[in-house]
Amino acid sequence: MTVAALSPATSGRRVTHALLRDRGAVLSTAFLALIVLLAVFAPLISAITGHGPNDFDTAAIDTDLGGIPRGSLGGISAEHLLGVEPQNGRDILARIAHGARVSLLIAASATALTTLLGVVLGMLAGFYQGWVDQVICRVMDFLMAFPALIFMIAILSSLPQGNRSVLLVVVISVFGWPYLARVVRGQTMTLVNREFVEAARASGASTGALVFKEILPNLRSSLIVMVTLAVPGYVGTEAGLSFLGVGVTPPTPSWGQMIAGSVGWYAVDPMYFAIPGAFLFLTVLSLTVLGDRLRAAFDAGEAS
């Protein structure tokens, strides 16, 4: 028992150590920290620059030229650090920062809900097997056969009112959990038959104790990796749905929506497209790199 209790802590330290020595992982973490700070302090940034995410600034755009930003590079200046949107002159920095709040919040909530559903249902299926397993597996087959993107768009567009962010989280999670549950189910099945779980069961441990003390801790590393790799997917999905016009409702800013808004302008004002595009790309990339390195670190630990 002491050995089992000791090893997760040491493996955690070893993984942290491995990540700290990896340049890609450190850079990714730094960039993600920046985005989180941007999101957390979005109101503060607006207060300092004096530009709210929805404040129009007609001085920054040239109405004679159809409303393209004044100055080069999409209106980047001391006043507007990342330039302004064409036509209405909204500050892009303020919108990026506020958009980060929306994107990260939705991605984080969707990840949390997916993980909860995936772990609970996957463990139920793997632990009880029999008809419970049958039912859960059929539901997973069904959800995975569903054309998720089309259906997400259809549902979201047919529910015009209400809180879009909550709906997005629910819809993403409902279609996302089977991918996690499938892996959890398989691992639980092998764990249930391992000696230490049988020993605990024989010594009269309750089901709850079995699940929380014996099985869940052993799923930890693969869960961490799967969840880290799922987050960039959800950031991308949220942005994609917003891009298609069924995500968060305007004027609430979101990166995907900003990119959608830039479609008509990219020929004359490429920066309007490039900035949110770059933020989205770098965020997804950082999360992917981090997940990838995390997996490598855990794998190396298992091999040694």
Positions touching another protein (CB under 8 A) are 141-142, 144-147, 149-151, 153-155, 157-159, 232, 236, 239-240, 243-246, 259, 262-263, 266-267, 270, 273-274, 277, 280-281, 284-285, 288-289, 292
Indicate the residue among 157 and 207 with the shorter CB distance to another protein.
Answer: 157
69 forms beta bridges with: 61
CA gap 11, 182 in Å, rounded = 25
Least spacing, CB of residue 281 vs another protein, in Å: 5
Residue 159 backbone zone (phi > 0: left; psi -120 to 50: alpha; other: beta): beta
Q: Whose CA is closest to 217, among 45, 3, 16, 52?
A: 3
Residue ranges with strand state E in the chain: 61-62, 68-69
Smallest distance from another protein to CB 145, Å: 5
45 or 153: whose CB is closer to another protein? Answer: 153
Please, which residue, 30 or 154, has the CB nearer to another protein? 154
**Residues 232, 240: Cα–Cα separation, whole Å:** 12
Q: How far is the CB of 147 from another protein (least distance, A)?
A: 3
Question: Token digits for 186?
Answer: 């398989």
Of 74 and 240, nearer to another protein (C-beta) is: 240
Decide whether 69 or 240 has the Cβ nearer to another protein: 240
- Per DSSP, the chain holds a count of helices (H) and strands (E) of 12, 2
* Contacts with 47 (C-beta within 8 Å, 6 or more apart), sequence order: none
Find out whether 172 and 108 touch, Cβ atoms under 8 Å: no
Q: Can you tell me which residue has the tokens 């089901």?
A: 207
Angle between helices 164-192 and 148-158 (to 10 degrees): 140
Residue 156 C-beta: closest distance to another protein, Å: 9
Backbone angles phi, psi at 74, to 5 degrees: 70, 30
Cβ closer to another protein: 29 or 49? 29
Give least dist CB 248 to another protein, A: 16
Cα 181–chain centre separation: 18
Q: How far is the CB of 120 from another protein (least distance, A)?
A: 22
Phi, psi of 194 (to 5 degrees): -75, 155
H/E run at residue 219: helix 216-243
Judged by beta carbon, residue 189 or residue 282, the one nearer another protein is: 282
Q: How far is the CB of 155 from another protein (least distance, A)?
A: 6
Question: CB-wise, 93 or 246, nearer to another protein?
Answer: 246
> Could you tell me the smallest distance in angstroms from the CB atom of residue 176 to another protein?
15
Q: Which of 81, 85, 99 is nearest to 55 (CA)?
A: 85
